[in-house]
Amino acid sequence: MASWNRYGSRMREAKMLTLVLLVWLLSVLEAVKVSPLIEKVSDHKDFKKLLRTRTNVLVLYTETATSGDSHLKLLSDVAQTVKGQGTIAWVNCGDSEGRKLCKKVKVDPSSKRGRAELLHYKDGTFHTEYSRPATFKSMVAFLKDPSGPPLWEENPEAKDVVHIETEKDFRKLLKKEERPVLMMFYAPWCGVCKRMQPIFQQAATETKGKYVLAGMNVHPAEFDGLKQEYSVKGYPTFCYFEKGKFLHHYENYGATAKDIADWLKNPQPPQPKTPEVPWSETDSAVFHLSDESFDSFLEEHPAALVMFYAPWCGHCKKMKPEYDEAAEILNKGADSPGVLAAMDATVHKAVSDRFKISGFPTVKYFEKGEEKYTLPQLRNKDKIIEFMHNPQAPPPPEQSWEEKPSSVSHLGSEDFREALKKKKHALVMFYAPWCPHCKNAVPHFTTAAELFKEDRKIVYAAVDCTKGQNHELCKQEGVEGYPTFNYYNYGKFVEKYNGDRGEAGFTGFMRSLRGRDQEKVVKRKEEL
C-alpha cells in the first residue's frame, strides 16, 4: 500500500510538472506572437535593407524571445496606430542569427534594465535611443515626430498640471470641477509655450488644492471648433473658468509663478493694450518709401541713406528719434549732402528681399541709385550727419565669433536640431553680435566649451539670431532677449539656464549634469 501511495504521489508530481511546462510553453508562444505590422529581423542584409527603404524605424532589441514581451504587446498597438508613418522592428539577440546582427550593430540588450533596448533610426542612420516613457501615447507621439519635443506630461515636474487630451475630457473637467480652472491651450512646437510651461507647472504646485491648472495641446485641426469658441488665435492662450463658465483671458506672458498665483486670488480681465504708434509720415522729415516708390526716389536723390526697420523692433524704436532729428537737419537744408529715408521691411518685402535684409535696423547708403555701404555703426544723430557730410566705407568688421577657432559649435536653422539630438547635454547660447552682454559672455562660454571638448556627449553651441533664417529659429526657441541660454537633452528643450555667466557658472552647470549621470549609472549597477 505504501509503495502504491508513493507511485500515486509521483504521478501527481509528474502531472503538475507537465502542467507547469505547458503553461510556460504557452506563455513563450504567446510572447513571440506579435503583430504582423512589426518587422521581425535577424539577418544583417535584411536589416540594412529595412533602414534603406524606411525613413522612420524604431527597433526593439531583446536579450531573448521573451524578455521583450511587455514591449512587444505595447508596440503591436503602436504599430497599428502609426501605420504608414513609421515602422517598428524586432531583433531577438538571443538566437544565433540575431546574435550576429546585434554584434554587428554593437547593441547589447543584456546590459539594459528589462533586458531590452529601443533604438530609433532615421533616413537610414541611427538617430537616438528611445528614452521617453514606454507608454502608448508617448511612443505614438515620438514616431509621428521623432525630432519633436517630448509631451508635456512626460515631465515629472509637471505632475500637478492636469493634462487634458480630448475635448470630451475638457468638457468633463469644466462640468465636475468645483475649484477655479486656469487652462493653458498650447502647441508643442511653440517657443513661448516651452518658456512658460515650467512657470505654469510651478504655479500649479504652489496653488495645488485651491485651483486647477490644466494644459491642453489644441494645435491639431480636430480642436479648431474649441479654439474658435475660446478665441485661441495664438499660443499659448490662457482661459480662466469658474464653475464651468469662461470668465477671462490671462495675458501676462512674462509672468512668474508668483504672478500667476497672485492673479488667481483676484482674477481680472486683461487691460486694454496701448496701440503701437506707427512712425508718422506726416510729422516726420524722413522720407517713407514703398516697393513702388523706392527706385524712383533713388533716381531723384543721388545720395540717400535708407533705414530698413520693423515696427516691433526695439532697437528701431530707440533709433527713430535720432533719425528724425538728423532728417530735420539734412532733408530740409538747402545745401544738404543727402537725404534720409526709411522703409518698413515687414510691409514692403520686395525691396527688402532684393537687398537681403535679415536684421533690424539695417542702414544702407546709396549713391546714384546704387548700394554703396551697409552702416551698422550709424545709430545716433551726430554720427549720421557726420557720415552724410563725408561718406566713408565703414571700418572692416572685426573677426566674428563664428570665424574664430574654438570648441563652440556654431549652429543655424539648417543643422540646429540634427546636431543637438546627437548630444546628451547641450548648452546653447542664442546671441546677437552687437549685444554687449553677449560680448561679455563669449570668452567665458568659449573657455567652458574648451574644457569639455573631449566629452562626446556634451556640446556648447551658439546661434547668431541675426543671421539668415536663424531669427525664426530663435523665435521658436523662446528667445526674447540676448543672450538667452537654453539647455537641451538629446535635442529636447529642458530648461533655460539663468545661472552665472562666467566660466565657473557655465562649467559648474555641466559638471552637475555629468555628476547626475554618474549617480544614475551607480544606482543602476546596484539595482542589477
User: Which residues are designated catalytic?
Assistant: 190, 193, 313, 316
Question: What 8-state DSSP symbol labels residue 177?
Answer: -
Question: How far is residue 497's CA from residue 20's CA, in Å, rounded to a whole number?
Answer: 57
Nearest Cα residue to 234 out of 256, 212, 249: 249
Distance between terminal CA atoms of the chain?
A: 51
Rounded to whole angstroms, the Cα distance separating 39 from 63 reads 17
At position 183, the amino acid (one-letter code) is M
144-150 long-range contacts (CB < 8 A, ≥24 apart) are 144/82, 144/85, 144/86, 146/56, 146/86, 146/120, 146/122, 147/122, 147/417, 147/421, 147/491, 148/188, 148/189, 149/188, 149/189, 149/194, 149/492, 149/493, 150/492
At 108, give phi and psi (nearest 5°): -135, 90
Cα–Cα distance, 357 to 374 (Å, whole number): 11
Q: Which stretches within 404-462 are classed as H helix? A: 416-420, 436-451
Residues near 382 by Cβ (< 8 Å), separated by ≥ 6? none
Residue with cell 553680435: 433
The per-residue b/e assignment along 322-352, b for 16 or more CB within 10 angstroms, e otherwise, is bbbbbbeebbeeeebebbbbbbbbeebeebb
Backbone phi and psi for residue 374, each to the nearest 5 degrees, phi listed first = -105, 130
Do residues 91 and 98 lie in contact, with contact meaning Cβ atoms separated by under 8 Å? yes
Is 509 in contact with 94 (CB distance < 8 Å)?
no
Can you read off the three cell numbers belonging to residue 428? 546653447
* Residue 187 grid cell: 502647441
Q: How many Cα atoms are found within 13 Å in the side-chain-facing hemisphere of 27?
A: 11
What residues have CB less than 8 Å from 428, skipping those under 6 apart? 411, 420, 461, 462, 463, 477, 485, 486, 487, 488
Which DSSP category does 189 fall into? T
- The backbone torsions φ and ψ at residue 169, rounded to the nearest 5 degrees and listed phi first, read -65, -35
Sign of CA dihedral 123, 54, 473, 506: negative
